[in-house]
Structure 1
Amino acid sequence: MGKTRVAERGIYQRGPYSFQVKLMVDGHLITGTFDSLEEARAYRNSKRAALALDPDAQRVLDARVKRHEVKAATLSLVLDRYQKEVSAKKKSAESEAHKIARLKRSKLAAKSIYRITADDVVAFLKELKRDQPGPLQGQPLSATTKRKLAALISHVFTIARKRWRMDVSNPIADIELPSAGRPRKRRLEDGEEQRLLHELAKARQAAIVVPMVRLAIETAMRQGELLALDWKDLRISGKHGTATLHDTKNGEPRIVPLNATACEILGAMPRPLKGGPVFPIRTPALRAIWELASERAGIQGLRFHDLRHEGTSRLFELGLDRIEAAAITGHKTLQMLADYTHLRAERLARKMNEAANSLELAGRPL
């Protein structure tokens, strides 16, 4: 008997009078051996037609395909598709990429999306801890971070069901999310600003992070806005200037006034001839430098975003009203602005005393 050769698609000839049919139809293997090519061809074509018309055979094949899909559609693979087709089009693509990476490092990522239950998600959220190297490694993640990860999982399931027509149910709908908690009121305490800047100055990228932190305090700009700031967006004339923000959280451009201190900070930075980002640093590198400097400075519970609280509160302490402050910070509502404003009781007491003294000097009764 000679060597096997392909006679036609799905038909293999093993000799002058041996033709074997071997083909897969929707994952189902079909075989048969015949004396002539014509017989083999007729058998192949008939089987294809029969499987296409026989509802029972089709149900068997559908069940096999379903089992294969269930096994193959792990959360990790679905997250890859989500990141490519959904997340990449968002303004928050970079920050969401960190959340997706965090999910993919978990045990949950290896499970089929069809078999993830509410109990699985609850266990995942309960066990969440910082797993990146650094001073805070091993510490539990905040309730806010857990809520954000749960929201991401929920949206992944929603997209899978509505857009990709996967027959899955959303496990987030059946769990009680961690409490959102109260708005943060963390501000820089006595000496913290100096100690923090002192430790940041020891970092390899100190020429970037030190002025970035100082500018965050002076302008109340968000971390993402600072990272997106380009030299061409700055207009500085002496002791005043402006920074035009094109990519803001609320989607609307904003012009931030720069005071003398902010202009001094930016003026002391080396400006490349070709321009480019004012603060060329990636978020993970910035986070690592921040955490190490905070630990060395003996500062606990301070996040970069708290600098926005600090800057916003200082605007009010300078005497700006809510409308003026909102124009600088970009808050859409006065309530949102109030959440970011935490005036020091000591400053308010001094202001009350000054007002009382002014009234007394004017001869008005208190």
Structure 2
Amino acid sequence: MLYKRGTVWWYEFVIRGQRIRESTYSRSRSLARRAMDQRRRALEEGANGITRRPAPLLFSAAAREHLALKRLKWKPSTQRIEAKNVEHLIRGFARRLLFDITAGDVSKYQRQRRRDGASCGTINLEIATLRAILRRHRLWAALQPDIEALPRRDDVGKTLTLAEEARLLSACRASHSRLLYPAVVVTLNTGLRRGELLSLRWSQVDLAGLCLTVGASKSLAGRGRVIPLNATATAVLGAWASSFPERRPEHAVFPTERVGASGDSFSVYITGTDPNTPVRSLRAAWTSAKKVAMVSARWHDLRHTVCTRLLEAGLSLPLVGRILGWSPSTMVLMSHRYGHVDVLTQREAMSRLDRLAVPTTATTVLG
């Protein structure tokens, strides 16, 4: 039933004993009639368990919608990774409708990306983004049994030799970025992840107490852990702190800086520093330093070097894991990756049984 209140049309009807009385906010009787019919139909379909199939959606549109919805929840680094993943996925599925994507299409995409030279780890990250997009539209469950992650190498990693480290540090010290040298030295003496390092604030560094507290971290086990500072890390952080006499606890340890150059010698100088904003990346300076030092290594290899050296010094894997902030699942993986390094520690542990057991000789055993 339609009726008027003032100049606005209202409708009223009963469905399953429930009286529905709502305004159409319209002065048009014909529009009010359509609004009432649409409202009644929606309620009747819901009461009978009838759901409308969503309109077909192109993958490219769904992917961009995924980025827009998640942007506020992601850290800037995650936003960049996800945007890159979507960029590659759109090339493979741009004009496909979401419900037309099959497990065969995903497998074909994986093979093509391998031919393009992408690593298995990178492809797995892209498929994880694809999974999130399809799961949001309730389409992933049907594909999941037939899709497998590509095998990743668990032996990737390089330990720097002392000679390589010396060349690399020399090149970092001469870099146009004055942040690079202290950042590399601190990493080589704490094992911090790159994100943990670059997000450091001075409130997290206790030079008097010879320790630093990790803030945001990749793993729950890594967040909030306290890392003791050795003499090298303390000296470098102390010298670096003296470069910022007006620093505050909330300021970034490695702030964003703008640099310029002048003169025939192309002398570099600092044109501005934003102490509240951590530097986003040291990639350009790092790449240049590696080239000068003739060292082939990733930034993560600095952390790999720390791990290997700690194990070679006799520390157990669990202790190294606590220092580096490994999650329980990562601990299992690392026990396989670094098992050959930890063998000396294991041998020492087993030798302790000799000192604790009743003396026994081969003659006694053989009778």
State the TM-score, normalized to the length of structure 1. 0.63
Q: Which blocks of at least 5 consecutive residues in structure 1 are unaligned?
A: 1-7, 10-39, 130-137, 162-166, 356-366
Query: Within 5 A, what are the aligned runs for 1:148-163?
Result: 148-161=125-138
Shift in Å at residue 172 of structure 1?
A: 5.3
**CA shift in 2, pair 1:318/1:156, >3 Å:** same
Correspondence for 2:302: 307
Correspondence for 2:248: 274
Correspondence for 1:364: none
CA distances 1:173-225 after superposition (whole Å, capped 9, x unpaired) = 533321122243421135222232333344432x2122111111111121121
Correspondence for 2:359: none
* Counterpart residue identity of residue 231, structure 1: W
* Counterpart residue identity of residue 233, structure 2: A
Pair 1:265-2:250 in alignment: no
Correspondence for 2:289: 293
Match of 2:217 among 236, 248, 253: 248
Q: Whole-Å Cα distance in 1 between the matches of residues 117 and 224 of structure 2? A: 36
Q: Whole-Å Cα distance in 1 between the matches of residues 59 and 107 of structure 2? A: 23
Pair 1:99-2:81 in alignment: yes
* Counterpart residue identity of residue 118, structure 1: A
Q: Whole-Å Cα distance in 1 between the matches of residues 318 and 140 of structure 2? A: 47
Counterpart of 2:156 in 1: which secondary structure?
coil
Identity, in percent, stands at 24
8 Å CA contact 1:244–1:254 kept in 2: the answer is: yes
Pair 1:187-2:156 in alignment: no
Correspondence for 2:268: none
* Counterpart residue identity of residue 242, structure 1: C
Shift in Å at residue 147 of structure 1?
A: 1.3
Query: Within 5 A, what are the aligned runs for 1:1-366?
Result: 43-46=30-33, 66-67=54-55, 69-71=56-58, 74-84=61-71, 88-89=72-73, 93-106=75-88, 107-108=91-92, 110-111=94-95, 112-128=97-113, 140-161=117-138, 171=143, 173-189=145-161, 191-205=163-177, 207-237=178-208, 241-251=210-220, 252-269=223-240, 270-271=243-244, 272-275=246-249, 276-280=251-255, 285-300=281-296, 302-333=297-328, 335-338=332-335, 341=338
Counterpart of 2:227 in 1: which secondary structure?
strand
**CA shift in 2, pair 1:305/1:63, >3 Å:** same
**CA shift in 2, pair 1:279/1:173, >3 Å:** farther
CA distances 1:253-276 after superposition (whole Å, capped 9, x unpaired) = 211000101101111212342241
CA distances 1:22-80 after superposition (whole Å, capped 9, x unpaired) = xxxxxxxxxxxxxxxxxx9555555555566679xx9xxx999944x525872332222
The number of equivalent residue pairs is 286
Q: Whole-Å Cα distance in 1 between the matches of residues 207 and 29 of structure 2? A: 83
Q: Whole-Å Cα distance in 1 between the matches of residues 87 and 98 of structure 2? A: 15
Taking CA–CA contacts closer than 8 Å with sequence separation of 6 or more, which of the two structures ends up with the larger relative contact order?
A: 2
* Counterpart residue identity of residue 129, structure 2: L
**CA shift in 2, pair 1:279/1:273, >3 Å:** closer
**CA shift in 2, pair 1:179/1:332, >3 Å:** closer
Shift in Å at residue 242 of structure 1?
A: 0.4
Counterpart of 1:243 in 2: which secondary structure?
strand
CA RMSD of aligned residues (A): 4.1
* Counterpart residue identity of residue 247, structure 2: L
Q: Whole-Å Cα distance in 1 between the matches of residues 149 and 327 of structure 2? A: 26
**CA shift in 2, pair 1:100/1:108, >3 Å:** farther
8 Å CA contact 2:188–2:306 kept in 1: the answer is: yes
State the TM-score, normalized to the length of structure 2. 0.63
Counterpart of 1:256 in 2: which secondary structure?
strand
CA distances 1:84-133 after superposition (whole Å, capped 9, x unpaired) = 3xxx435xx3332122111332314734434433344334444448xxxx
Q: Which blocks of at least 5 consecutive residues in structure 2 are unaligned?
A: 1-6, 9-26, 257-277, 352-367
Q: Whole-Å Cα distance in 2 between the matches of residues 283 and 147 of structure 1? A: 28
